[in-house]
Amino acid sequence: MSVELDVFVGNTTIMDKEVYQLWLNGYTVNDAVKVRIEGGVMEECEASAEVLLSDTMDQYRTFQMCERLLHHPAKLANQLLFQIPPDRQAMLIERYALACQFNSLDFVIIQFQTFICISLFRYYAFDDLFVREVLGKKLSKGTKKDLDDVSIKTGITLKSCRRQFDNFKRVFKVVEELKGPLVENIRQHFLLPDQLARDYAAIVFFANHRFETGKKKLQYLTFQDFAFCAGQLINNWTVGAVDNMMEDMDVDLDKEFLQDLKDLKILITDKDLLDQHKNLVCTALRGKTNVFNEMEANFKNLSRGLVNIAAKLINAKDVRDFFIDLVEKFIEPCRSDKLTSIDVNLYLTHYTNSAHILDTFKHHAVWTRYMGVIKSCILRMYHD
Amino acid sequence: MPGKLKAKIVAGRHLPVMDRASDLTDAFVEVKFGNTTFKTDVYPKSLNPQWNSEWFKFEVDDEDLQDEPLQITVLDHDTYSANDAIGKVYIDIDPLLCSEAATVISGWLPIYDTIHGIRGEINVLVKVDLFNDLNRFRQSSCGVKFFCTTSIPRCYRAVMVHGFVEELVVNEDPEYQWIDRIRTPRASNEARQRLIFLMSGELQRKIGLKVLEMGGNAVVGYLQCFDLEGESGLVVRAIGTACTLEKISTFPATATHPNNSSPSKDMKEPGFGEEAPGVPLSSGPPTPLRAQTFSSFSPSKSYSRQSSSSDTELSLTPKTGMGSGGSAGKEAGPLKALLRQQTQSALEQREYPFFTLTAFPPGFLLHVGGVVSARSVKLLDRIHNPALGNTRSYKLLDWNSFTADEPETRDAWWEEIRQEIKSHAKALGCHAVVGYSESTSICEEVCILSASGTAAVLSSRFMQDGPLDTEHRLSRQPLCVFSTGSERVEGDMGSSASLGFEEVVSPGCGFCHIPYDELNIPFPAQLTYCYCCRRYKVPDVLFTTIDLPTEANVTGKGCLIQARLCRTKKKAQGEGNATAISSLLPFLEYELHTQLMNKLKLRGMNALFGLRIQISVGETMLLGLASATGVYLTALPSPGGIQIAGKTPSDITYEQHISTMQKKINDTIDKNKELYEINPPEVVEEIIGSPIPEPRQRSRLFRSHSESSDEVSELDLSHGKKDAFVLEIDDTDAVEDIHALLTDSPTPAGFYSCNTEIMPGIQNWTSAIQMFTSVRVFRLNANLTNQGLNKIFSDLCENLLKSLYFKLRSMVPCCLCHLNFTVAIPEDELIQVAVTAVAMSFDKEQPLENGKQSGEKTLIKAITENDEQLQFNLELNAETSSHNPLSSPKGLSEVGSHLSARASSLEKASPLPEGRSRSLRSNRSYSGSSVAVVKMTPLSFIPGAKIIKYLGIINMFFIRETSSLREEGGVSGFLHTFIAEVFAMVRAHVAALGGNAVVSYSMKECVFMENPNKNQAQCLINVSGDAVIFVRESELESTSVQTQSATTHTSNGGEGT
C-alpha cells in the first residue's frame, strides 16, 4: 500500500522560502523533512510527517521545474508556466528594485517576475566556502569529478556543490563569448543583482586565468578578498578598462599593457635608478613610521619582488601565480618585519609616487596603472 | 450564412532548438481551418522568429465556425528531410461569434506538443467578420452564449428561464482505430484532441439550435462531459439550462426622491413588511421612467436582499415579454390570461423540468423536496454499435450511418434515467428538479449512468389553479423572472396583489417548507413546524444538490461533510458483472446515506447542500464518495444527538465500551457546535407551545393541498426535537460506522471548508484567492476486506485534505470553497482522487453576527457589484436626469459617461474618471503586457471584484504522453508538469481573449494511465470555465465605499423593522 502519485498544483505557484533554501543546499527530500520537523512547522500547523513529506516532495518538484527556467533567466521575463502570487508582488517589487537597481527592465516585467527573481538570486547564490575551493580552477569535468572531496571538506552537500559549480560553468560559458563589460553582461543575462553579478565576474575571471588560490600560503584569504582583487584587475588591467569600445573583452588582460610592464624592469636592473628610488622613498618615510629601519633594509628586496611580478605577467603561466607571488614576494617579508597595514599603505604610496620623480624613468602611465592595482590588492590581502 | 475568419501570425518566442548543429530553429507556421491551409515564410535560424505574416483569410460557413477550431502548427523547416513539427495551438473561435463576448483573440499562446508539452509560445491575432448581422440568430446558433456558471451570470439578468437542454454526439475513438497501430503516439493523440474539439463544437452548436428553438439566447450551467467508452467509442454529451438573458444595461433608472434616498432601502423594506409588501415605498416620479427602471435592475442584485419577498420578483410573462420593456403595472393585467393559455400549450409539450442551475434569483425557488437520484448499469456492448463491428478494419467508417444509429442508444439510456428522476420528483410533490447533473463511470464494458438533482417547487403562480400533481406543471413554460426590485418599488406590488398572486413566505425559510403532502409522505420523515415562521411544516433534515439559497437563514457556519465507502466485488465479465454491480449499488447508496446522516448529526447540523454522490466502478471494487456542505438551517429543528445502543447488553465491559463511545460522540458534537458556532436561539423553544400564526391576509396558497398546513395547532411540535438518532452496534457495520465517524479529524484552526459557492457565516473575503488541483493515486494491496478498504479510502481523503490545509497555511484564516472531489479506479488496485477547489482568505475582524444577518452580509459582499451599478445609476439619474436612457445604444459607453458624470459631480479624483469603457481598455493593455495575471476559480464570482464582461466559454482538452517517465520525474513529476501546463494554457487563452480571470472553472476529466515497466504514461485532461473581465472594487473605490456603506446602513435599518 503506497501513495503512487501525489501532486499539488496551484494557479499561483506556491514556493516555501525555507524549503527552497533546503533544496538549494542540496538536502534530500528526507533530510529536508527532518530539518523541517525540527523547525517545528508541524506543531504550528497540526501536520503529520506524512503531510510534510508530501509537501516537501511537491516543493522539490516545483523547484526542479523552475530550474530549467533558472538556467535561462532572460526567459523568465515572459514565461507562462508559473504565476506569481499577486499579493506578494507589491512587497517584492520594492525589495527587488532595491536589490538590483534595475532600470532597463520594464516595470511590468519586474512586477510579475519579482518572485521568481528572488528565487533566482537564491539559486545563483553560492557558499563562499565552496567557491574558495574551486576558485581559479578550470571549470571542467575533471574539476566537477573532484567535487565530492570538496563536499566532504566543506560540509556542503554534493548536490549543492554541483549546482553551484554548474552555475559557475553556465555563466562562464555565456559571458566568455560576449563583448562588453563583464559585470554588466552577467547582470543582464542572468538578471542577478549587482553584488552577485560582481562575484560571478570574479569567479569567471579567476577561472579564465586559472589563478592559483589553493596554495597553503593563500589559505588565509577569503573569497571576498579575491573577488575584490578580481574587480581591481578587471577594472584596470583588462582591454575594456582603457577604452570602452564595443569590441572590448573584459575577460582577458590587456596584452599590450602586459608587454609594457616589462619595461618597468629598469627600476631594478639600473643600479642608479634603484638607489635613487630608495633614497627618495626613504626620505619621504623617515620619521613617519617606527619600522623605518626594516623598510629601508628591505627596500631593494621588496622593489625587486614587485617589479619582477610585473615583468613576468606577460607569461600566462606566471599570471596564474600572481597572488602567490604577491604573498611570497611582498606580504610575507612585510609581515615578518611586523609592518602594520598603515605602514604598508604608507610605504606603497611613497614607493609609487617616488618613481615618478626619477629622472630617467619614463613609464609613468604603465607604472600608475600597475601600482594602483598592486597597492589596493596588497592592502586588501594584508591581514591575518 | 458565411463568415470570414482572419488570422495573423506575428511572432514566436522560446522555441526549442530543432537543429542540433546550429542550436537554432528554422521555424514556419501552418494555419489550418477546415480544409484550407496557409503557411508563413520560414524564419531561418532563430528561436524567436518574427513572422509578421499577412492576414490569412478563411471564408467559411458559420456552422464550420462553430464546429472547427483554428489549428496552428509550428514546424521546423528541413531542406532534406520531412519538416519536424514543434507543436500545435488549437484556438476555439466560438467566443468571437457572439457579439457580446470577445472581439479579437490576440496574445502569446503556448505551443503544445502531446509528447513534449509546452514548447515555446506564438503570438497570433484572430478575428471573425460575420456577414449579415441581422439574420445571424435565425439560421444558426451562432451568438448563443454559453456559461459554465450554474447561476445567472453576474452582469446579466434573466428575462426567462426556458428549461433543460441536452444533446450528445458519438464518434469512434481514434485511439481504437485500426490506423492507430501504425501511426505514432503523437499522431494518435492529435487526432483525438482534434476530434474532441470538433465534437465539442458540434455539440455546442446543436445545443445552441435547441436554445434558439425555445426562444432563448443563452445556456447557463452548461455541463459537458466525455465518456471514453473505449472500443465502443467516444461520447460527448452536454446538459444545460436555456435562458433568455439580458445584459444589465446600466441606464439611469429612476429619479429617486432625495429624501426617500437610496433605492436599496426601498427594496429592502418590502421584504420585511410582510403584511403589506406594496407599501408606498417609492414616491418616485411616475410613468415614463418606469419602463427604464425595469431593464436597469439586475436580478442578482437582490440576492443581497435576503428579506425580499419571493412572490414579487417572479412572475410569468408570455414569450413576447422577452423585451420586457413595459412596466410591470401594464403587464400584470393581461398576465393571468396569458398564463392560462400557456398552461394549455404546456400540456402538449413534453420536456424535462430540469434545471442545471444551483443558485437562483430570489423567489424563484419556493420549496425544496429533497435529493432525487437515479442510476443504471449498462453494458457497452458492441451490438449497440453495429458500425463499429468487424467492418472497422481497413476502410473508413461511414460516419453517417454510425452516428444515426448510435446516439439513439445513449439517448435512450439517458431518457430512461431522466424519466425516473422526474417520477421521483413527482413523488416528492415537486414539479421540477434543480441542481441537476449527470455523470458516468466506466470500467471495461460496464457503465454506470447516474443523474441527480433536487426536487423542488419553483415559482409558477400561473399554475395556481392546476392540480399540483399535474405532470405538466412546469413543463415547458418559460418562466419569466422579472428583474427584481424595481417592480416592487414601482408598484408591481399592487397589481400582483390584485391578482391574488402573492404568496408571502418568509424567504429565509420558505424553501425548507415541505412541498409534499404530509399525510402521504413518500419516505419516513419527522415533520415539525418551521422554526422561523411557525406556519408551515419542515422536515427534520434536508438534503439538496443546490447551493445554499442566499436568502436562507443559517445558524453558525457550515462545513464539508464526506461519506466514503469502498466495497469489494467479484471479478466478472459482461452481464454477470453488470448484475453484480446493480445488486451492490443500493447497499452502497444506503450506507453512504447513513454515513452522511451520522456525520451531519455529529456536527450538530441539519441540512446538506451541494450534495454530490459519485460512484466509481472498478474491476474488483466499487467506490462511493458523497460530498456536501452541512449547515444548520434555522428553520429546521435542532438535530438530536446520536445514541448508541447495544442490542445484547450482556457483560459490563461491553456496556462500558458503549458508554465511553457515547461520551466521545457527545463530546464531539459539543465541540463541533462550538467550532461551527451553532447556537440556535433558545427562544424557539418557548414559542413552541403557542405556534399561532399571525392572521394572514392571503388565504390561497398556490399549491392546493399544502393548505392543510395552515392548521397549525393540531400538531405536536415538540416531538421532533427530542429524539436522538439511534445507532445499534450489534453488528460490525455499526462499529465501523462509529469508527468512521470518530476518525474524521477536525479541520485545523483558521480553516473552513465547503463544497458550495458560499460559506455561510463567513463574509468579508479578501482578494487573496488560490485555486488549486491536487491529485493522488493510491496503490492497494490485494485481498483487502471491505473494512480495510474503507479505512484506506477514508484515510486517503482525510490525508489529502490535511495536506491541503498545510499547503495553504499561509492563507489562514481561509475557507476552501467548492471542494470538488473526483474519484476513479484507473486500474485494479489503484484509487485516484482528484480535488479542485479555491482557497479564499477572509478577515476575521468582523464581529460575529447571527446567521441571518451574516448570511445577508455575505450576499451583499458577493453581489455588491450590481448594487453599485444600480446605485450610482440611480443617483446619477438624479443628477443627470436629462439623459434619455432609451435612446442610448449600449451599456458600456453609457456607464462610462454616467460614471464620469458622477465622478465629476462628486468632484473626486476617482480612479475611473473615464468610466467603464476606460477600465476595459486599460484592462486590455494590461493583458497585453508580457505576462498578465489570470485568476482562476471554481466559483462564479471573484471576491472583492466585479465581473464586467463574459468573454465566452473555455473548454479545452489536452492529452499528454511520455515514453520517458523516469526522466520526467516519475508519475508525479509528469502529472505535475502537465497540470501546470494546462493552467498556463488556460491562462494564456483567457488573456488572449482580453480576460483576466476564469470563473466556474472545473477540471472535468483527469484520466491518468501509466505503465512504469515500459517507462510510459498518458494523461487526458478536460477543463472548462467562463473567461471574464473583472475590475477590482478598489478601482471603483470612491463609488463603492459610498454605496457599500449605504447598503449596509439600509440593510441594518431593514433588519430593525
Q: Are B832 and B732 in contact (CB under 8 A)?
A: no
Residue B784's SS3 state is: coil
Residue tagged 452481464 (cell numbers): B575
Q: Residues B1039, B1041, B1042, B1047: is their CA dihedral positive or negative?
A: positive
Identify which of B944, B849, B991 has the alpha carbon closest to the alpha carbon of residue B556.
B849
| Residue numbers in A near B792 (CB within 8 A) | 1
Residue B477 predicted with pLDDT over 90: no
Report which residue type is found at B970: G
Listed residue (B441, B460, B443, B459) closest to B451, CA to CA: B441
Per-residue pLDDT tens for B988-1035?
A: 999 999 999 999 999 988 999 888 888 899 999 999 999 999 988 776
Contacts of A57 in chain B (CB under 8 A): 972
- Best mutation target among B933, B937, B998 (most A Cβ atoms within 10 Å) is B933
- Cα A239 from Cα A250, distance rounded (Å): 6
**What predicted TM-score, i.e. pTM, was given to this entire model?**
0.74
* Alpha-carbon torsion angle B961, B965, B968, B970, nearest 10: 120
Q: Which three cell numbers stand for residue B819?
A: 471542494
Closest C-alpha among A67, A62, A75 to residue A19: A62
Q: Which of B531, B539, B668 is nearest to B603 (CA)?
A: B668
Q: Reply yes or no on whether the pLDDT at A146 is more than 60.
A: yes
Of B994, B996, B988, residue with least CA distance to B1032: B996
Cell numbers 606580504 correspond to A331
Q: Cβ–Cβ of A8/B1008 closer than 8 Å?
A: no
Residue with cell 448581422: B133
Q: Nearest C-alpha of chain B: how many angstroms from A73?
A: 12
- Find the mean pLDDT for residues B753-776: 87
The answer, yes or no, to whether residue B799 has pLDDT greater than 50, is yes
Pull the grid cell for residue B1017: 504514461
Peptide bond into B813 cis (omega under 30): yes
Reported ipTM: the value is 0.74
- Whether the CB-CB separation of B190 and B71 falls below 8 Å is answered with no
Q: Which pLDDT score is estimated for B673?
A: 84
Site of grid cell 425516473: B420
Cβ contact (<8 Å) for A1 and B774? no
Alpha-helical segments (H) within A125-212 = 128-134, 141-145, 147-154, 158-176, 182-190, 194-209
Cβ–Cβ < 8 Å for A64, A163: no
CB-based contact B770 A6, cutoff 8 Å:
no
Cell readout for A303 is: 622593489
Nearest neighbour of A10 by CB, restricted to B770, B830, B933: B770
Q: Say how far apart CA A182 and CA A188 lie, in whole Å.
A: 10
- Which chain A residues are closer than 8 Å to B1030 by Cβ? none
* Residue in B973, B987, B1008 nearest the CB of A61: B973
Interatomic CA distance for residues B994 and B925, integer angstroms: 9
B362: which 3 cell numbers?
430570489
pLDDT tens digits for range A259-318: 888 888 888 888 888 888 888 888 888 888 788 888 888 888 888 888 899 888 888 888
Q: What pLDDT, on a 0 to 100 scale, did the predictor assign at position B828?
A: 82
CA-based R_g, chain B, Å: 29
Render the burial of A321-345: b for 16+ CB within 10 Å, e for the rest.
bbbbbbbbbbbebbeeeebeeebbe
**Nearest residue on chain A to B935, alpha-carbon basis:** A11
Are B984 and A112 an interchain contact pair (Cβ–Cβ within 8 Å)?
Answer: no
- In degrees, to the nearest 5, what angle opens at C-alpha B542 toward C-alphas B536 and B544? 120
DSSP B488-540: HHHTHHHHHHHHT------TTTGGGS--S-GGG-SS---EEE-TTTSSSEEES
Q: How many helices (H) and strands (E) does chain B have?
A: 21, 32
CA dist A41 → A33, A49, A293, B811 (Å): 10, 10, 64, 15
Q: Do B776 and A5 touch (CB under 8 A)?
A: yes
Provide the pLDDT for residue A186: 84
Residue burial B984-1016, b: 16+ Cβ < 10 Å; e: rest: bbbbbbbbbbbbbbbbbbbbbbbebebeeeeeb
Asked if residue B904 lies in contact with residue B1039, where contact means CB atoms within 8 angstroms, the answer is no
Measured between beta carbons, which residues in chain A are less than 8 angstroms from residue B748?
Answer: 45-46
Are the beta carbons of B253 and B874 closer than 8 angstroms?
A: yes
The length of chain A is 384
Chain B residues with CB-CB distance to A93 below 8 A = none
A·B CB contacts under 8 A: 145
Confidence grade of residue B870 (pLDDT, cut at 50, 70, 90): very low
pLDDT reading at A238 higher than 50: yes
Convert the pLDDT of each residue in B804-819 to its tens digit: 999 888 888 889 999 9
Q: Which of helix, strand or coil describes residue B169? A: strand
At A96, the pLDDT band (50, 70, 90 cuts) reads: very low
Q: What is the DSSP string of A322-380?
A: HHHHHIIIIIHHHHHTT--HHHHHHHHHHHHHHHHH-SS---HHHHHHHHHHHHHHHHH
Alpha-carbon distances, residue A14 vs A18, A68, B9, B931, B976 (angstroms): 12, 17, 34, 18, 13
The C-alpha atoms of residue B935 and residue B922 are separated, in whole angstroms, by 17
Q: What is the largest CA-CA distance in chain A?
A: 90
Whether the per-residue pLDDT at B324 is higher than 60: the answer is no
How far is A145 from chain B, CA to nearest CA, in Å?
22
CB B727 within 8 A of CB B740: no
Q: Which residues of A touch B807 (CB under 8 A)?
A: 8, 10, 14, 55, 58
Q: What is the DSSP letter of A291?
A: T
How is residue B472 annotated by DSSP? T
CA distance B1048 to B1043: 8
> Cβ of A51 and B802 within 8 Å?
yes
Highest mean pLDDT among B23-32, B100-109, B256-265, B739-748: B23-32
Give A210 to chain B, closest Cα distance, Å. 29
What is the pLDDT at residue B159? 82
Question: A58, B929: Cβ pair inside 8 Å?
Answer: no
State whether residue A244 is helix, strand or coil: coil
Q: Which residue has the higher pLDDT, B501 or A81?
A: A81
Burial class (CB in 10 A: 0-12, 13-18, 19+), A138: exposed
Where residue B749 falls among pLDDT bands split at 50, 70, 90? Answer: confident
Considering only residues B917 and A160, tell me which one the structure prediction assigns the higher pLDDT: A160
Between strands B145-146 and B751-753, the pairing is: unpaired
Nearest to B756 by CA among B886, B612, B868: B612
Distance CA B553, CA B678 (A): 12
DSSP output for B53-89: ---EEEEEEHHHHHHPPEEEEEEE--SSSPPEEEEEE
Per-residue cell: B433: 428538479
pLDDT of residue B746: 78
How far is residue B449's CA from residue B615's CA, in Å, rounded to a whole number? 9
* H or E segment to which residue B766 belongs: strand B765-779
Least Cα distance to B905 among B880, B883, B884, B881 occurs for B880
Cell triple for B1004:
472535468
d(CA A153, CA B699): 93
Are A180 and A241 in contact by the 8 Å Cβ rule? The answer is no
Decide if B900 contacts B915 (C-beta within 8 A): yes
Judged against a pLDDT cut of 60, whether residue B717 lies above it is answered with no
Cβ atoms of residues B578 and B608 within 8 Å: no
Q: What is the pLDDT of residues B390-443, one digit of tens each?
A: 333 333 333 444 444 455 678 888 988 998 998 888 888 888 899 999 999 988
C-alpha B1024 chain-centroid distance: 11
Q: What is the spatial distance between Cα B1003 and Cα B821, in angstroms, rounded to a whole number?
A: 10
C-alpha cell at B212: 434558439
Mean pLDDT of chain A: 81
Q: What is the pLDDT of residues B204-235, one digit of tens each?
A: 988 988 888 888 889 999 999 988 888 778 88
Which grid cell sits at B987?
A: 491562462
